[in-house]
A and B are shown apart, each in its own frame.
Chain A
Amino acid sequence: MRIRRVEISAFRCFSDRVVIEAIGDGITLLVGDNEEGKSTVLAALQTVLSEKHNVTGAVANSFLPYGSKVRPEIWLEFDLNGVGYRLHKAFCQKPAAELEAETGGRWTGDAAEEKIRELLEFTSPSRGKTKPDHRGLLALFWVEQGYGHWQPHINETAHSSLAGALEKEVGTVTGGERGRTLTKHIQERLSNNLTPKTRKPTGDYKDAKERVTELQGRHEDLSEKLRSFEEKVETLSQDRERLGNLEADDPIGSADARLSMAKKSVREVEGLEHNLKTSRANLKMAKAQRALADTLVSNRNKDRNSVIAADQEVDELKNNQIAAEKVARNAKEAFNSAKKLHDGTKTDLATAQSNATTARRLADFLQHQSLFENARTRLKKAEKAESVATDLTAKANANLVTPEALEQLRELDANARDLNARLKAVATYLEFMPEGGRRARIDGKNIEEDALTLTEPTQIDLEDYGGIRVLPGGEDLVSRREAADKAVHELDGKCDKFGVTALQDATKQGNDRESWLNEAAIHRTVVDAQAPEGLEALREEVANLMAEAKNVEEDLGDTGTPDMKPSEASDRADELERKLSELAAAERQASDDLRSWEGKLGEANANFAVIAEQRGKAVVSAGILRKNIKVSVKEASDKFLQEEFDNAVKMVERTSDEANKLESMLVDSDPDGARQEFNAATKALEKIGETLQELRQKIRELEIELRTLGQEDTSAEFDVVNGELERATVQEERLKHEVEALDLLFTTLVKEEQIARETFLGPVRDHIEPYLKRLFPGSDLVLNDQTLAITHLRRDGLDEPYERLSIGTREQLAVLARLAFADLLDSHGKQSPIILDDALVFSDDRRFEQMQRILDRAAERMQIIILTCHERSYFNSGWTTKRLDNCKD
């Protein structure tokens, strides 16, 4: 289609007539200022092509210019598929429609409407105003103001045309809606059996698998039950056979016979054991009787020996009594002698005791007296030395020149010497060397010395010369002299204080003081030697010794004191005490002898009494024994007793032989073996009985169990389950196979559909690519292969969704997509003009300029009409420009 001329009368803002004519191929720029009506031109084109002429109501009224009653009219001339057409429509009052083809066709009214819809593949709304969906391809290529950045509107007609063109180029690569429905259905069938994500069985497939598992379990259970049944049947047969065999062999009878034999053997053993026991008891009794007889014989012999012994004892006691009497007599005599000797020693001892005591008292007196004298002498010496020492100490204490005082004086003297030396150092030293014995004088006195040291102004008279005044100089002569004087004064003061004239005197007095003190100390050493415990202690000791001596003297009384030394008196006392000690020992010996004889005498008397008593008793006892023997002999003679003993010995021998014989027989009969055999036979009988009983019980139980199991028709149940399992397994395998087939089918369909989609959009990409590389080099525009809408701009590997791009970019891409679609349709014989009503208002200068170049290129094959109010922006484009105001009457 190519638009050639349009004439608009009384339509919306055009109250007058507007004629735009001579619209050529390529680009036509229709310029109009704001509100001048350029968008109305696009509305008029859409109206004349798509709105019914006889439309009424609000739609029709919207065509009228404001306040106008004049009917709107639009004339349009266009070429389509090489044929020129002229279309006229009038609305509202006297609506009319007329289409003429230059080839001769003419249609009016509804026929004209129908024809135009046919030519342009428009569809008719059921009522009211047409919408973009009804306007076929023109809805895609005609862009109203303000919608430039919107997705290109692809209605059903446009989609069909584009898809048709694509399929012509790439073949029918897509399956269309039917293919997609098929894929979806296969997917649904697959997901009914396999979960999409985890790919686990579900639905019928899952049920089939679970059914197989359940039936396998039941199959195994029943199989086991049958196997168990058959085993038990077999066991029952075997047990019955075994029981039959056992019962045929009569094991109970055999065991009974064995037990009887064992019992007999045991009874024989028990008989032997009883006899042996009796025999042993007899032997024991015989031995007891033999022992009794033996005892009786022995006792008789003992009794007779006892009588003999008793007689002998009586004789022996008689002799003993005589000897004891003699011993007692001798003891009496010895006792009397000892008593006499003891009395003599006691008298001697008393005398010696008295003499010794007297001698010791005298010796003690003399000793005390000597000690008293000695102590008194030491006291006198000590008291004298103490007196001298006290005097010397008092004298020394009166002397003030203590060592400390002497030290002070020495320091003062040294100070005075030092200060004088300092004075003399600055003094004037004069040496006299007179001639001829001439004299020098000071204050009229001759100077004897050969030299003088002067420390103060001095007038010296020289003989034969006259006077000479010496004025010693120096900076501090005066202060030195004052210091020296002060030191001398201080020394003198101290000497006065300590009572000395000078340092030499003080030194002497100090030495004297030390000497006195030392001497006093020596005297005190003497005191200490004489009275180590002190003078008072020594005085007390002297007093005590004197009192003690008086006491001893009073004890001696009138006996007087022999003229002897204390040592002699002491020796004499010692001698008397030694003699006393000897006499005391002799007295103790005599006393011991006396007590000894006294004891011996007692013993001899007692011994005699005892023996006399024993003799009496022995005589009585011997009499009794003799009497007893007489009685017992009368009861049983010695011969009788011996015969009894001999008989008992023979009885023992006989019963012993019998017991030995029985014992031997018992050993030969093997009592342990007999009893073991008895026990074994008893157990064997019990065991056989138990075994048979158990076997019979087991058979009974098996019979009862099998009767029940045999009624359960398990084989039939197994057969049914087996059949069900076979069918369920086949069903599971069938579903597994089907699921795998569905899976393969689905994945194959999805893969091929993806390939088809990519193939399908190839031509669109080919047409877009030349435009796109001018504006967005290296990028791809991605379209939805179903809706053909723009989905992404792919730049640097990143997909940027269309909706998130800038408005300027979106309006540019929308124009590019339209140009590509138009190119595609053009190459398949479908031409459609592109009308852009200010569709590039958001583009920057660079892109705007690029878009002009792109439009230039596209215009080589298609008609493009650009409506704009920005004439200056297109000034350099060189496009055919029509100003709207120039198109008005």
Chain B
Amino acid sequence: MSITLLHTADWQLGKPFGSIEGDTAALLREERFEAVKRIAALAQDRKVDAVLVAGDVFDSATTPDQIIQRALEAMKTYSGPWVLLPGNHDPAQSESPWTRLNRIGFPKNVIPAVNPEVITLVGGRLAVLPAPLTRKNEPDDVTQWMDTAETTPNVIRVGLAHGSICNKLPEGDATNQIADDRPVKANLDYLALGDWHGTKEIAPKIWYSGTPEPDRFPRNDPGNVLIVSINKSDSAPKVEKIATGRYQWHRCEITYGVGGDVDPISVIEAAIEDAVENPNETLLRLQISGTTDLAGRRRIEDSLNIWEARLRYLRRRLKELVDEPSADDLDAIDKSGFVRAAVDELKTMADDPTNQRQDIARTALRILYFEHIAAGN
């Protein structure tokens, strides 16, 4: 006899996306509720026994009632149990979204796991052992209690926690640490984790589901939930990753130099086109490094202006792109006369790495060049 769970985490409902300017931030904020609706529909569709949300349901301790009510509304499609765990974004403090949830009232199938107590579900066959955070940074391993948590024999024990699994993540906080041998010590059949926004298998019984809707330019694998089937007789649960994200967040990093055979614009175009399937639902962080002549710089900026209009959002990172004005660039500004003399002087400064105004001189040359082009010469 097995049970099936939907493991998700890091909804961060109400996240404002302050770093994204314009209307896109509002769309992204709204989309997180849509993601919850998709999860509810999926849970209903797959007839899972329970949905476990491994922390950070809400984005902050000051989440207003409206967000909480909208969350409950988005969860309605699935009538089975929802176990919601407080994470570091929404710790179960004396005043928190959880106290507000209590005041607002919630359906019986919604179970705020605000205490480290065994929650028995699925007719007593499933024991969920939650490790809620009661503050942003817990110095101790809050899952330790699971080791001694008593449950009826043969019940499936599932741990639910939010934090950094020790020694297994490429990066992570020093706080909210979780021992990687917790499933063994606590005799867990599965440890459902949140906090790491990409989907990641730490061990056969330890998984991060990741956030269901991407919310940053990632270096991992966000935008999924996990369907977990647990059978006591199996050595490990069966875990199925299902994509739920709508907006695609991509990083694109390009490096090139002056005078290469490849046209820099075609490099940029190719890189973006490779990364982007649906421009309208894509947020792109484009970093270009290397050197370019001024004509190339102008073409790059023209190209990026076009992409900026096509994409949902484009974040340019061009600080590492250094101007290297070519002889043609300089001749294009002027071949003779005092303007040329000024160009030569600025070029000398721009080429001198010991000159404190090297960078300013480069920009001055770029301005001069762009002015020249704008004047139609």
- A interface residues, Cβ below 8 angstroms from B: 171-176, 178-179, 181-183, 185-186, 189, 226, 229-230, 232-234, 236-237, 240, 702-703, 706-707, 709-724, 726-727, 737-738, 740-742, 744-745, 748-749, 751-753, 755-756
User: Do B338 and A756 have beta carbons less than 8 Å apart?
Assistant: yes
User: Do B62 and A179 have beta carbons less than 8 Å apart?
Assistant: no
Interface check B151, CB cutoff 8 A: no
Known: A713-B14, A744-B346. A749 touches B338 (CB 8 A): yes
A175-B337, A179-B337 are known contacts; what are 20 more A-B pairs with Cβ within 8 Å? Answer: A185-B375, A233-B61, A237-B93, A237-B94, A237-B134, A707-B100, A710-B97, A711-B100, A712-B64, A715-B60, A715-B61, A716-B15, A717-B16, A721-B18, A726-B19, A727-B21, A740-B363, A744-B364, A752-B345, A756-B338
With a cutoff of 8 Å between Cβ atoms, the chain B residues found around residue A718 in the complex are 18
With a cutoff of 8 Å between Cβ atoms, the chain B residues found around residue A712 in the complex are 62, 64
Sampled A-B contacts (12; CB under 8 Å): A173-B341, A237-B134, A710-B61, A711-B62, A714-B60, A719-B16, A722-B18, A724-B18, A741-B367, A744-B346, A752-B345, A756-B337
A542 to B61, CA, bound (A): 152
B16, B103, B360: the one contacting A716 at CB < 8 Å is: B16
A226 to B60, CA, bound (A): 11
User: Do A236 and B94 have beta carbons less than 8 Å apart?
Assistant: yes
With a cutoff of 8 Å between Cβ atoms, the chain A residues found around residue B301 in the complex are none
Interface check B95, CB cutoff 8 A: yes
A716 to B25, CA, bound (A): 12
User: Do B363 and A737 have beta carbons less than 8 Å apart?
Assistant: yes
User: Do A173 and B63 have beta carbons less than 8 Å apart?
Assistant: no
A752 to B20, CA, bound (A): 44
User: Do A229 and B61 have beta carbons less than 8 Å apart?
Assistant: yes
What is the chain A residue whose CB lies nearest that of B363? A741
A582 to B64, CA, bound (A): 145
A5 to B21, CA, bound (A): 83
Closest chain-B Cβ to A531's Cβ sits at a distance in Å of: 145
B63, B334, B337, B367: the one contacting A186 at CB < 8 Å is: B367
A742 to B363, CA, bound (A): 8
Closest chain-A Cβ to B64's Cβ sits at a distance in Å of: 5
Chain A at the B interface: mostly helix, strand, loop or mixed? helix
What is the chain A residue whose CB lies nearest that of B357? A744
With a cutoff of 8 Å between Cβ atoms, the chain A residues found around residue B337 in the complex are 172-176, 179, 756
A718 to B63, CA, bound (A): 12
B18, B59, B95, B375: the one contacting A710 at CB < 8 Å is: B95
What is the chain B residue whose CB lies nearest that of A742? B367
Known: A181-B375, A237-B93, A720-B18. A230 touches B338 (CB 8 A): no
A745 to B361, CA, bound (A): 8
User: Do A756 and B361 have beta carbons less than 8 Å apart?
Assistant: no
Question: Which residues between 94 and 116 of chain B lie within 8 Å of chain A, taking CB atoms?
Answer: 94-97, 99-100, 103
What is the chain B residue whose CB lies nearest that of A183? B339
With a cutoff of 8 Å between Cβ atoms, the chain A residues found around residue B254 in the complex are none
User: Do A711 and B64 have beta carbons less than 8 Å apart?
Assistant: yes
With a cutoff of 8 Å between Cβ atoms, the chain A residues found around residue B100 in the complex are 707, 710-711
With a cutoff of 8 Å between Cβ atoms, the chain B residues found around residue A182 in the complex are 339, 368, 371-372, 375
- Counting chain B CB atoms within 10 Å of each CB, the highest count among A183, A230, A717, A745 belongs to A745
User: Do B367 and A171 have beta carbons less than 8 Å apart?
Assistant: no
Query: Chain B 330-353 against A: per-residue CB contact (8 Å), 1 yes, 0 no?
Result: 000011111111100110000000
Interface check B65, CB cutoff 8 A: yes
Interface check B377, CB cutoff 8 A: yes
A25 to B336, CA, bound (A): 38
A172 to B340, CA, bound (A): 10
User: Do B346 and A748 have beta carbons less than 8 Å apart?
Assistant: yes
Question: Which residues between 1 and 58 of chain B lie within 8 Å of chain A, taking CB atoms?
Answer: 14-21, 25
Known: A233-B93, A233-B95, A236-B94. A179 touches B339 (CB 8 A): yes
User: Do B59 and A716 have beta carbons less than 8 Å apart?
Assistant: yes
A179, A226, A740: the one contacting B338 at CB < 8 Å is: A179
User: Do B95 and A236 have beta carbons less than 8 Å apart?
Assistant: yes
Interface check B141, CB cutoff 8 A: no
Interface check B359, CB cutoff 8 A: yes
With a cutoff of 8 Å between Cβ atoms, the chain A residues found around residue B62 in the complex are 226, 229, 709-716
Closest chain-A Cβ to B340's Cβ sits at a distance in Å of: 7
A755 to B344, CA, bound (A): 14
A710 to B100, CA, bound (A): 9
A721 to B19, CA, bound (A): 9
- Counting chain A CB atoms within 10 Å of each CB, the highest count among B20, B134, B342, B359 belongs to B342
Closest chain-A Cβ to B247's Cβ sits at a distance in Å of: 17
User: Do B338 and A753 have beta carbons less than 8 Å apart?
Assistant: yes
What is the chain B residue whose CB lies nearest that of A713? B64
With a cutoff of 8 Å between Cβ atoms, the chain B residues found around residue A234 in the complex are 93-94, 135
User: Do A186 and B371 have beta carbons less than 8 Å apart?
Assistant: yes
User: Do A185 and B371 have beta carbons less than 8 Å apart?
Assistant: yes
Question: Which residues between 299 and 338 of chain B lie within 8 Å of chain A, taking CB atoms?
Answer: 334-338
With a cutoff of 8 Å between Cβ atoms, the chain A residues found around residue B18 in the complex are 716, 718-724
With a cutoff of 8 Å between Cβ atoms, the chain B residues found around residue A178 in the complex are 334, 339, 375, 377
With a cutoff of 8 Å between Cβ atoms, the chain B residues found around residue A179 in the complex are 334, 337-339
A711 to B357, CA, bound (A): 50
User: Do B21 and A723 have beta carbons less than 8 Å apart?
Assistant: yes
A172 to B337, CA, bound (A): 5
- Counting chain A CB atoms within 10 Å of each CB, the highest count among B63, B64, B135, B339 belongs to B339
